[in-house]
């Protein structure tokens, strides 16, 4: 399956070589990730190709619904191009320094490609994972700019500290080799980004987060660095899945997972910039909201004293930890 | 129980007579509404008084959790006062004409009191209801302004057209007597406000919605008009509850209700101004998010062909109806 097919048929504006190369990379990563799940003995997700109705391009969603491993989720690739409206420009200008000095016209264009995945496992011993790697380009008047963004973060329901350590250390090792010192910055950015201020708690145990990545080293170096992070995603998550996959779970643990899902929903709908930008740019609602869990419960808070590893989770959510040393 | 107690103990800035009178009215309405539910033979909700930590005042939440009639919900009254931060000022300025020409300082104060209720019944034959009546005051520099806002709207899961007609006609009759022509305006405002653009559907069958109400007729007239709407709330909803309360329901109907709950969650967290303003002004998260249903499901869309009155609901959500003629 090649995610390029949906837009090669439909473009009437040229995607840049940068966008095309990033799209090839994330399409390949999408296949690899899904193959790893299938290789564990689970069925292939449901594939949907879609066309971006408000411009050029489209995407491929590989969706999990009532799957034996993944209760709900998806591994999506998209590559779209359209008008950069003044409203979108304003909403991005605050976050992207390369836009700060540009002057929008009514003929500006954006292009974006990336992979976005959320996996909500059925078994509450297996953490939810989210990852996202994307390239954004804007043509504003006669100027052009681009930047990478993305990250990966883990949301356990029952705390196994070894999982959080493994996840963080995987990114730490990959990044320290490439760009020493950056892990710490991106780890803190992740902790800040996924903070639910109205609950005074983190969404999960974090990971890495970055945006507006466009360094003086140029596109090749930045693209290579982003691939480094994408390349270790499988290594960061699959061993955790394998560890817990066959564990039995109780009704109380499942209820606790559904209760915690409500915080995930609150974060994504109240705070997440990607969700807001996607819905604002009239993106595909079903693909954007594949990040929602199957069931979220705003029931009375379960008593964590009766659920092993739940109180431990609550403690680390209140104060983000250092998982490296 | 008197909701005034929590702030009489704690104020160090004077609440205005306007705020105090509106607070008395909504506290009384809160008691009446809850008494009606109790008089149907159900237990009294859980009462919580709380203090507003970022200013003066507080509120009383009457919360329903796993109640025999109301699966989740609350009838809340609050009366708070605090610093009108520049961020709050900017977020309100777009919607309130009385703020448009004012110049914020760092010593501005807001006061607000109101009743806010959401009732999510257990039985999917009984619609969810939301209502809210509030008075807001701002002291910006040497200037003062106030306005009323509020409304009431109905969210059925299985469509009984007679319910939607009764609900709308109750407000129509009350408002036409007082201010002819206004029902139509507020009905349309409601349809616009509760429109989920990313789903291209309404949250429910609507009702009335208004904001920024501060007419040339002055406070007494506007206050009287707001009381007219508050006074008919019980008449607008209770007969609907009584009609369906004892109906049996199937698993498929319950699942459909949980599925539709996810749209309710999406609206409240993505679009609702009250929710955003509440969380921005560091309001009480538990009270603000009492609007969440107990369970929301983002499962695959159930087949409405197999659920009586579900397809009929979908049709009216796609195109808001005239329920008066």
Q: What is the CATH number of the domain that holds B58?
A: 3.40.1500.10
Cα A252 from Cα A197, distance rounded (Å): 27
Catalytic residue among A67, A96, A130, A244: A130
Q: List the beta strands (DSSP E) in chain A.
A: 46-51, 55-65, 70-83, 109-121, 128-140, 143-155, 195-196, 201-202, 206-213, 295-297
CB atoms within 10 A of CB A8: 11
* Nearest CB to B285 within list A198, A295, A299: A198
Q: Given an 8 Å threshold on Cβ–Cβ distance, is A289 in contact with B269? A: no
Helix H or strand E segment including A312: helix A310-318
Tell me the pLDDT tens digit for each residue of B109-143.
Answer: 999 999 999 999 999 999 999 999 999 999 988 88
| Residue B280 touches chain A, beta carbons under 8 Å | no
Tell me the average pLDDT of chain B.
Answer: 92
A90 touches chain B (CB under 8 A): no
Task: Say if B74 is an interface residue toward chain A (CB within 8 Å).
Answer: no
Whole-angstrom distance, CA of residue A269 vs CA of residue B130: 20
Contact of B279 with chain A, judged by CB distance below 8 Å, is answered with yes
Contact A266 B258 (CB under 8 A): no
Candidates B190, B151, B130; CA nearest to B322 is B190
Q: Do B265 and A289 touch (CB under 8 A)?
A: no
Catalytic-residue membership of B261: no
ipTM > 0.85, yes or no? yes
Q: What is the pTM of this model?
A: 0.91
Asked if B295 and A294 come within 8 Å (Cβ–Cβ), the reply is no
- Is B325 inside any structural domain? no
User: Is A65 in the B-facing interface, judged by CB distances under 8 Å?
Assistant: yes
B74 vs B64: CA distance, rounded Å: 6
Asked whether the beta carbons of B203 and B125 are under 8 A apart, the reply is: no
Residue in B72, B266, B288 nearest the CB of A269: B266
- Look at B298 and A293 and tell me if their CB atoms are within 8 Å: yes
Tell me if B96 is assigned to some domain: yes
Over B126-191, what HEC string results? CCEEEEEEEEEEEEECCEEEEEEEEEEEEECCCCCHHHHHHHHHHHHHHHHHHCCCHHHHHHHHHH
Position B323 in a domain:
no
**Residue A323 domain-assigned?**
no
pLDDT digit string, tens, across residues A4-45? 555 554 445 689 999 999 999 999 999 999 999 999 999 999
Contact B295 A300 (CB under 8 A): no
Q: How many of the other CB atoms lie within 10 Å of CB of A155? A: 25
Q: Does B272 touch chain A (CB under 8 A)?
A: no
Q: Is B314 on the interface with A (CB under 8 A)?
A: no
In this predicted structure, what is the pLDDT of residue B1?
Answer: 36
pLDDT, tens digit, for every residue of A223-274? 999 999 999 999 999 999 999 999 999 999 999 999 999 999 999 999 998 8
Asked if B141 and B105 count as a contact pair (C-beta separation under 8 A), the reply is yes
Q: Verify whether the Cβ–Cβ distance A295 to B293 is below 8 Å.
A: no
C-alpha neighbours within 13 Å on the C-beta side of residue B293: 27
Interface check for B252 against chain A (CB to CB < 8 A): the answer is: no
The minimum CA-CA distance between B183 and chain A, rounded to whole Å, is 31
**Sole residue written with tokens 């643990």:** A253
SS3 content of chain B, % helix, strand, coil (to 5): 45, 25, 30
Nearest CB to A285 within list B65, B199, B276:
B199
Instruction: Provide the pLDDT for residue B44.
Output: 97
Contact call for B270 and A279, based on CB within 8 A = yes
Residue ranges making up the domain that contains A101: 5-318
What does each C-alpha distance from A88 to A56, A166, A279, A281 come to in angstroms? 17, 37, 11, 7
Sign of the dihedral through C-alpha A293, A298, A303, A305 = positive
pLDDT score at A249: 98
Per-residue b or e along B84-107, where b marks 16 or more CB atoms closer than 10 Å to that residue's CB: bbeebbeebeeebebbeebebeee
Candidate from A279, A285, A297 with C-beta closest to B294: A297
Position A10 scores a pLDDT of 47
pLDDT for A106 equals 83
Q: In what order do the strands lie in the sheet with A128-140?
A: A46-51, A55-65, A70-83, A109-121, A128-140, A143-155, A206-213
Q: A295, B297: Cβ pair inside 8 Å?
A: yes
Count of domains forming chain B = 1
Burial class (CB in 10 A: 0-12, 13-18, 19+), A239: middle
Residue B324 lies in a domain: no
The answer to whether residues A76 and A61 touch, using CB atoms and an 8 Å cutoff, is yes
Give tens-digit pLDDT for A186-230: 999 999 999 999 999 999 999 999 999 999 999 999 999 999 999
Residue A144 lies in a domain: yes
Residues of chain B neighbouring A289 (CB-CB closer than 8 A): 198, 266, 298
Nearest to B298 among A279, A292, A299 (CB): A292
Any domain includes A325: no
Q: How far is A165 from chain B (nearest CA, A)?
A: 31
B269 contacts chain A (CB < 8 A): yes
pLDDT digits (tens, 9 = 90+) for B139-197: 988 888 999 999 999 999 999 999 999 999 999 999 998 899 999 999 999 999 999 99
């Amino acid at each position: 399956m090649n995610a390029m097919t949906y837009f090669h048929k439909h473009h009437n504006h040229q995607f840049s070589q940068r966008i095309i190369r990033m799209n090839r990379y994330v399409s390949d990563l999408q296949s690899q990730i899904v193959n790893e799940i299938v290789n564990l003995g689970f069925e292939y997700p449901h594939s949907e190709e879609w066309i971006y109705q408000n411009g050029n391009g489209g995407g491929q969603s590989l969706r999990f619904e009532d799957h034996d491993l993944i209760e709900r989720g998806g591994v999506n690739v998209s590559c779209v191009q359209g008008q950069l409206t003044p409203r979108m420009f304003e909403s991005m200008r605050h976050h992207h320094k390369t836009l700060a000095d540009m002057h929008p016209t009514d003929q500006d264009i954006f292009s974006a490609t990336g992979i976005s995945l959320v996996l909500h496992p059925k078994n509450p011993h297996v953490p939810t994972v989210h990852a996202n790697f994307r390239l954004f380009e804007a043509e504003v008047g006669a100027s052009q700019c681009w930047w990478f963004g993305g990250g990966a973060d883990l949301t356990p329901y029952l705390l196994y500290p070894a999982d959080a350590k493994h996840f963080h250390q995987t990114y730490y090792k990959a990044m320290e080799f490439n760009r020493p010192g950056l892990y710490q910055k991106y780890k803190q950015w992740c902790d800040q980004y996924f903070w639910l201020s109205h609950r005074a708690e983190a969404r999960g145990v974090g990971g890495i987060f970055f945006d507006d990545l466009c360094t003086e080293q140029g596109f090749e170096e930045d693209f290579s660095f982003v691939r480094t992070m994408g390349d270790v995603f499988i290594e960061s998550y699959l061993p955790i899945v394998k560890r817990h996959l066959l564990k039995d779970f109780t009704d109380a643990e499942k209820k606790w997972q559904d209760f915690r899902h409500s915080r995930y929903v609150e974060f994504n709908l109240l705070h997440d910039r990607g969700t807001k930008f996607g819905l604002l740019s009239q993106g595909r609602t079903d693909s954007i909201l594949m990040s929602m869990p199957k069931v979220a419960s705003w029931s009375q808070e379960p008593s964590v004293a009766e659920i092993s590893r739940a109180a431990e989770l609550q403690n680390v959510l209140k104060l983000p930890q250092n998982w490296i040393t």
